[in-house]
Amino acid sequence: MSEEFEINEVHTTFDFKGFLFKLLRFWPLFLVSFVIAFGVARYINVRKLPVYQMGNMISIKDDQNPFFTSNTSLTFNWGGTTDKVNTAIITLRSRSHNEHVVERLQYYLEYKKQGEYQIVDAYKQTPFFVKVDTSKAQILNKQFTVVFKDSVTFNLKTTFLDGAATLQNYNTKEKSSRYFEAANFDKDYKFGDKITLPFFSGTFVPNPELAVSPGATYYFNFREFDGVVKRFNGINVSPESKGSSVIRLRLTGYNKAKLVDYLNTSVAVLSENMLERKNLFATKTIAFIDSSLTKKSVEVINAEDELNAFKNKNAIFDLDLEGLDLNGKLNDLDLRKEGVGQELNYYTVLETYLLGRSDYRNVPAPSVAGISENSISASVSKIVVLAEERNRLQYSYKEGAPVFADIDRKIDAVKNVLLENIKSSKQLKSQELASIKRDISKYEGQIKKLPKEQQELLKIERRYNLSQGSYNLFLSKRSEAGLVKAANVSDVLIIDSAKDTGGGQVGPNTRLNNVMATMFGFLVPFLFVFLIVFFDTKIHTIKDIQRLSRIPILGAIGKSPVDGNLAVLDKSKSAIAESFRAIRSSLQFIYKKQGVEGAKTVLITSSVSGEGKTFCSINIASVFALSEKKTILVGLDLRKPKIFGDFNLDNSIGVVNYLIGDKDLNNVIQKTQVAHLDIISSGPIPPNPSELLMGERMEELIGQLKTKYDYIILDSPPLGLVADSLELMKFADATIYMVRQNYTRRGMFSLINEKYKKGEVTNLSFLLNFFEEKGKYGYGYGYGYGGYGYGAYGNGYHETEQKLSFLGKIKKLFGRK
């Protein structure tokens, strides 16, 4: 092998430049892809309903009651402002809270009207409201049509299909199923009519802010309650900053008025809830005192009646001076005894309650028993607030959630401290009660020295004064509790209420849609072309050959403008004819470099059938013959003989006959209509073509032909299919290996590269066939090139090829022949 043809290892690399040109060739596909992508984006941007986001801002403050004293401790701020903020955030997100809001606003009833492209939400945009009879079940997901005939009369209609439908009672939230036959409901009503139907119950009332337009059509339907609540559970609730008491609420939807009402009502419900919790002790105390006052009033009346009856009967109206003194002292002691007894009784009841209950929401208030000890009042308040919070969270979390364990831990801690305080307080109160009883006994001993009537009157007045004192005490506590409750205000301060001030639209994101359209418009054809290139294993350009092999390239032959194989003979001035003349010059250069004298041989082979081996053999032989060199074309592809057909020759006698000794050389040579060009066809197909080509008769044939001809063209079998060509290469001064553009596969090069590297084949060159050079915009500039250094001939030296029309170029671009 020559040094300049020495082959090295070849590594296949991705042709980025070729890939870029490939992308440019598919510009119509990119254009179509962009048109479709932006068409879809435009459709979405125009037809998709606008999405709005509304918000409001509140602050959780810590307002202490201005009437708060140790004796009126009916409220307690458990955990401070931070805990209130966390509680408010959890509450606003809870299912139970959103159930109250949805129920208050009746958002399970949806109003709709016809929009520009589809039916849209018409909340507060209809001239009527429906007062739903929540005691009756309403059909779910059935659209009702309302058409106004005049300012007060409207037509209500809907359509039923044969089958069962689901109804829901929004008062009890119970669902039921009912069978309806296929029918059309259509009936006229007026504003104020009470409509009671098996599937709908309610009353239509006019919207004072929107006048009726006769002929206008509206729609409404009922949604499943829990489904509506779940939709609003996604409300965004977050503190304005870490540790801040300011909370911002945001809600996204299609109707701004609906969002505004929901946000503001949610805050209102939260405010009411927090105020109710703040008034919890006062409310329970008032209820307890009211029931106690009723009993005490009966006791006072009875005691008063008894006193009056005794005075009238015994004609005694007043105690004497000594009796009055004793009565005053005993009255004070009796009231103290009553108060201490109530406190001891409260401690006993409270202790029993704490030890025997798990629900602490109804723990009695300490102030009812006159207990003013701050530690007791504070601890009871803590337990009640925590118990209320735990009960409320049961609607939002499953039992066993970490939040319950945390609350239970806090309740247990407070309860343990409270039980210790109760124990010590009971001991002190017991000692105080014993002291009071001793004093009472001392004064009662003095009473026994008085006259009998005075003693009896003193007893009755003691009972009356005790009842009256207890009644006055409860009345005072009732007044205190009412004052505290009236003075309490919610800890929710509204900074910014939700309001439609214009704008607020957050979707659809038209810019994002356009970006996505750009991305997909480019990505889809890009991936399509990439996959074509990635899975394309065929040879397309001379550079593909250069990347795959170090074997030199003899030249390139363009696509033939004629139907047959006689391209040079039929169109001698065409570009393809000039290409073959360039190949002839390149072969002569090879012969000269090798020092070949006399007859010269060239063998033409390929990887597989169909790469133009026979076509090039015929035309290379033709250009040698036209230069008035004695040329013979020998068909050695014994398995698929072809060359005889283009010259209208008989294939019954050929190389096979010579090789088997049936005919001599003169009998197998056939003249053609071309001067200086003879042909030996392959002849009949033998059973053993390889053995024949490897025999001595083949050497004799080549030897005899060299004595008769200047150029011998050997059309051999494909190298990639059979080994015959390897045996014939020893007779060739130059070997041409055919590669067809867009046909030959890259994997075929591995065999010939290996043979060339080992030196089993020499003087080998590639010839690219059926080649069309593409310009940077994808259109061919003409047919083919000759060998290296010769190039294509300019206009005027060959016939002008017919240019393709624009439609033809498009068809050609997408592979249509």
The owner of tokens 């723990």 is 363
How do strand 201-206 and strand 128-132 relate by DSSP bridges? antiparallel
d(C-alpha 113, C-alpha 701), whole Å = 96
According to the model, what pLDDT value does residue 72 have?
A: 43
For residues 750 and 538, the answer to whether their CB atoms sit within 8 Å is: no
Residue 295: other Cβ atoms inside 10 A? 12
According to the model, what pLDDT value does residue 282 have?
A: 66
Q: What is the DSSP string of 649-698?
A: ---SSSHHHHHTTSS-HHHH-EE-SSTTEEEE---SPPS-HHHHHTSHHH
d(C-alpha 51, C-alpha 105), whole Å = 21
In the predicted model, residues of the chain with pLDDT beneath 50 are 1-11, 65-80, 775-801, 816-817
d(C-alpha 471, C-alpha 421), whole Å = 29
d(C-alpha 683, C-alpha 686), whole Å = 9
According to the model, what pLDDT value does residue 543 have?
A: 85
Cα angle: 581, vertex 582, 585; to 5 degrees: 90
Rg (CA), the chain: 55
- What own/partner pairs with CB < 8 Å and gap ≥ 24 does 459-464 have? 460/303, 460/306, 460/307, 460/310, 461/307, 461/319, 461/327, 462/327, 462/330, 462/331, 462/334, 463/303, 463/306, 464/300, 464/303, 464/304, 464/306, 464/307
Q: What is the DSSP string of 574-626?
A: SHHHHHHHHHHHHHHHHHHHHT--SSEEEEEEESSTTSSHHHHHHHHHHHHHH
Token pair, residue 520, equals 């997909």
Report how many helices (DSSP H) and strands (DSSP E) the chain contains, helices first: 23, 26
Which are the contacts of 744, defined by CB distance < 8 A and separation ≥ 6? 538, 539, 606, 607, 608, 611, 738
The CATH number given to 542-813 is 3.40.50.300
The owner of tokens 């919790």 is 277
Beta partners for 238? 248
* Distance from the first to the final alpha carbon of the chain: 42
Give the 3-state secondary structure of residue 507.
Answer: strand
For residues 602 and 810, the answer to whether their CB atoms sit within 8 Å is: no
**Sheet (strand 153-160) strand order:** 119-121, 109-114, 217-222, 144-148, 153-160, 183-190
According to the model, what pLDDT value does residue 583 have?
A: 93
d(C-alpha 218, C-alpha 214), whole Å = 11
According to the model, what pLDDT value does residue 269 have?
A: 93
Residue spans of beta strands (DSSP E) within 227-368: 236-239, 246-253
Range(s) of the chain covered by CATH 3.40.50.300: 542-813
Task: Summarize the chain as % helix, strand, coil (round to 5).
Answer: 50, 20, 35
Q: 620: closest CA among 643, 645, 648?
A: 643
Residue 291: other Cβ atoms inside 10 A? 11
For residues 179 and 163, the answer to whether their CB atoms sit within 8 Å is: yes
Burial class (CB in 10 A: 0-12, 13-18, 19+), 711: buried
According to the model, what pLDDT value does residue 675 have?
A: 92
Helix H or strand E encompassing 718 = none
The owner of tokens 């309403």 is 138
Token pair, residue 794, equals 């300019």
According to the model, what pLDDT value does residue 358 have?
A: 64
* Residue 681 backbone phi and psi in degrees, to 5: -75, 170
